[in-house]
């Protein structure tokens, strides 16, 4: 299994631009999570899906952030418009169960907004 695949690995964009981060979960994993990692706040859950349906998006910081999961093998996290304070590493993770099995993380996308 190739694991959780995220793209791009690095993204540098200018303030005000739209950014789209992509994730392919492990086949058969029913849960997909988007996390953000910063030095100040550590790892924060942004949103998670169960069977492609968003279950909890209370961690999404603002309306500028949106996430979709059109099918079981693909999810996107979009920031529009981007701001310098959005600079962080964004992780996607998937799991066959909620909690007990542990989450398998992708390699993350390092986003820099200048």
Partner 1 sequence: AQTVTQSQPEMSVQEAETVTLSCTYDTSESDYYLFWYKQPPSRQMILVIRQEAYKQQNATENRFSVNFQKAAKSFSLKISDSQLGDAAMYFCARTGANNLFFGTGTRLTVIP
10 or 17: CB nearest partner 1: 10
- Segment lying near partner 1 (by CB under 8 A), choices 11-19, 20-28, 77-85, 96-104: 96-104
CA angle 105, 75, 79 (to 5 degrees): 95
- Residue 76 near residue 8, CB atoms below 8 Å: no
107 binds partner 1 (CB under 8 A): yes
Minimum distance of partner 1 from residue 45's CB (angstroms): 5
- Residue 77 near residue 23, CB atoms below 8 Å: yes
**CA 24/CA 47 separation, integer angstroms:** 15
Residues 11-70, interacting with partner 1 (CB under 8 A): 33, 42-43, 45, 48, 55-56
Residue 84 gets which letter from DSSP? Answer: G
Question: Contact residues for partner 1 (CB under 8 A)?
Answer: 33, 42-43, 45, 48, 55-56, 89, 91, 93, 98-100, 102-105, 107-108, 110
């Amino acid at each position: 299994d190739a694991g959780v695949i995220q793209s791009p690995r690095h993204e540098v964009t200018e303030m005000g631009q739209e950014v789209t981060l992509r994730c392919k979960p492990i086949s058969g994993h029913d849960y997909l999570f988007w996390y953000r990692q910063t030095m100040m706040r550590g790892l924060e859950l942004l949103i998670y899906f169960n069977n492609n349906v968003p279950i909890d998006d209370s961690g999404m910081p603002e309306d500028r952030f949106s996430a979709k999961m059109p099918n079981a093998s693909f999810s996107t996290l979009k920031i529009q418009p981007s701001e310098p304070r959005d600079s962080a590493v964004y992780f996607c993770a998937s799991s066959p169960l909620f909690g007990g099995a542990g989450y398998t993380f992708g390699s993350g996308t390092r986003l820099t907004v200048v």
